[in-house]
Chain A
Amino acid sequence: DAGVIQSPRHEVTEMGQEVTLRCKPISGHNSLFWYRQTMMRGLELLIYFNNNVPIDDSGMPEDRFSAKMPNASFSTLKIQPSEPRDSAVYFCASTNVAGKLFFGSGTQLSVL
């Protein structure tokens, strides 16, 4: 199994631009999570899905952030418009056993 696949690996963009992060979870996993990691705040949960349905999006910072999971094998996290304070590493994780998460390698986002 290839594990959780995230793209792009790095993203550099200018303030105000739209950013789309992509995630392919491990086949057979029914839960998908988006986390954001910074030195100051650590690993923060943004949103998670069970069976493609958003369960808790209380961690999404504001309306500029949106996430979708159109099917069991794909999810996107979109930021529009992006701001410098959005710069962080964004991780996607999936699982079919609560607590036993498998993380992707992350997307390093830099907003200039």
Chain B
Amino acid sequence: QKEVEQDPGPLSVPEGAIVSLNCTYSNSAFQYFMWYRQYSRKGPELLMYTYSSGNKEDGRFTAQVDKSSKYISLFIRDSQPSDSATYLCAMMLNQAGTALIFGKGTTLSVSS
């Protein structure tokens, strides 16, 4: 079993839809959870950063972490064509110099 599992998609939605992106993981020791967005031919950029379980909201984006189920989600409200990108979940054990483990990414396409 891979450490981090993410459905690669592609996921296609119309503009204005609510999008749900998800990852599961196997290592219950992960404490920090991130979502990165990657546009075509660009490097990933940090979108959301959360610690432990719970929700975090930033504009149209909401990140959820359920450590009991080892499941994290990213919700995008009122999706826009500019949201079309690949979304990668990432996680790490702690802040003491450990590196991120990434999911393979889900490709999202939002049509106008």
Q: Name A's B-contacting residues (CB within 8 A).
A: 4, 31, 33, 35, 41-43, 45, 48, 50, 55-56, 91, 93, 98-106
Contacts and interface: CB of A to CB of B under 8 A. Distances in A.
B100 A42 contact: no
Contacts of A101: 36, 44, 46, 100
Contacts of B18: none
Given A42-B102, A42-B103, A45-B100, A99 B43 contact: no
A99 B84 CA distance: 23
- Chain B residues touching A, range: 20 to 34
Nearest to B44: A103
A98 B98 contact: yes
In this complex, which of B43, B92, B95, B105 has the most chain A Cβ atoms within 10 angstroms of its Cβ? B43
Contacts of A33: 99
Interface of B: 32, 34, 36, 41-46, 49, 88, 90, 92, 94-105
Contacts of B45: 102-103
Chain A to chain B: the 9 pairs with minimum beta-carbon distance, closest first: A103-B43, A42-B104, A98-B95, A43-B102, A45-B99, A99-B32, A103-B44, A48-B99, A91-B43
B26 to A, nearest CB: 16
Contacts of B42: 105-106
A41 B36 CA distance: 17
Contacts of A103: 43-45
Contacts of A35: 102
A48 B98 CA distance: 9
A50 B46 contact: no
